[in-house]
Chain A
Amino acid sequence: MSGTKVKNFLLNLYPELARFRRFNQITAIVIPTLTPRLKKVMRWGLPLVTVLFVILLGTVIGSWLLGLFFPKQITPLPIEFIAPTTTPGYQSPFLPLKRSIEEFNPALPDPLPPVFDEKISLESLSE
């Protein structure tokens, strides 16, 4: 009975619906199937589903609005990295070369020339 009431309610609200054959077909199929048990489920189920839907929609809209005020978090792509194939205990044979370079003294003059008296004479020298 309530199915008929709904139909009447909808027709009262939207009289144009009566012009659609499809509407009549759907109501003809749906109304007889509304058993008391189904009606009971729908009576509690529809408000519950509606409430959950509203909460979900609100959350989605809220998240979207939040995104307008905060910058989007950017996660960089992972850097390509190859795992080193280090041999445990391996010492490069080029380490002595590195040490030699490290110990290289660039200061000039090297070796420092000795200091000698170049004016050895028993007379005063004319320069």
Chain B
Amino acid sequence: MKKILLFILAPAFLFSAGGVFAQSTYLSDYNFQLDQYRKNFAEYTNFKKDYDDRPTLNNEQKALLSAKQTIISRELAWANFYLVLSESIGKPGVTYPVINKAATDLTGIANYHFSQAGKAGNIATRADLTSFTQEELTVLASHRLPVAQSQVANKLVQLIKFQIDAKTAYDSIVGKLEAVKNEVVVKNGLDQVQTYSAQINGQIEALAKKTTGFDLNESNQGQFYRDSTETLRTVRNLQYRLVSIIIDLDTNYVRH
């Protein structure tokens, strides 16, 4: 009983929600809007150059309209990008504080960009465009932190799902090993499962805590990504060994 409790030390406050997600079109929408943006941006670059060379009212109007179209496609591309990320986080159906926060943040950011796409339609003058872009730059800066946290959450959710699946696998074979559980090989295998599980849970908890407490003003985002990648790699390697042992026990010591 103690061993089983140890195995689920970290996942004690997470559970599989088992949610069913409808087939998403976010990725195709994102790709479509990205293409639109590239076309619009190429046009905007040309019109802006014309306007810079010959600042007539006609050229200004063309550049302004082109800028509006570019911004609209950019905002829609951003919104769909964040929805793709949010969907990826929600798909495994895992509930965990840093993951819940990431999903909420991403939905908020996506809604902001949808709203900005609507607002961009109201741009009528050069001043409107400048004002819109300046406001956008300020808000985008505030999105950097939740986006960085969401990137880590997106990876964490997959590892937590692996851990839940490994736990299910372990539970399904442990009863069948009752007859041979005192044999040296089996005993060692079960002990190693406990050890790896405790290490994995500890690493996941530590990374989740670090991600929640991450401060962009104090830390470098690149370094944060590098450190997190290293921890994720460590957890993945431990999980690989854990599942290898479970498979070994299942294949060689469980009667089928």
Contact = CB atoms under 8 A, between A and B. Distances in A.
Contact of B70 (A82, A93, A106, A120): A120
Interface in B109-159: 126, 129-130, 133-134, 136-137, 140, 147-148, 151-152, 154-155, 158-159
Interface residues of B, number: 65
Contacts of B130: 121-123, 125
User: How would you classify the secondary structure of chain B's contact residues: helix, strand, loop or mixed?
Assistant: helix
Nearest to A79: B184
Interface stretch (B9-17, B100-108, B212-220, B241-249): B241-249
A98 B81 contact: no
Contacts of B60: 122
A100 interface: yes
Given A87-B256, A120-B70, A108 B225 contact: yes
Interface in A98-127: 98, 100-102, 104, 106-111, 113-114, 116-123, 125-127
Interface of B: 34, 37, 41, 44, 48, 51, 60, 63-64, 67, 70-71, 74, 77-78, 81, 84-85, 88, 126, 129-130, 133-134, 136-137, 140, 147-148, 151-152, 154-155, 158-159, 162, 165-166, 169, 180, 183-186, 225-226, 228-230, 232-233, 236, 239-240, 243-244, 246-247, 250-256
| Nearest 7 Cβ contacts at the A-B interface | A106-B232, A84-B252, A108-B225, A106-B233, A109-B151, A92-B247, A94-B169
16 contacts: A86-B251, A93-B169, A93-B250, A94-B243, A104-B158, A106-B229, A108-B151, A113-B147, A116-B37, A116-B77, A117-B70, A118-B136, A120-B70, A120-B71, A122-B67, A125-B134
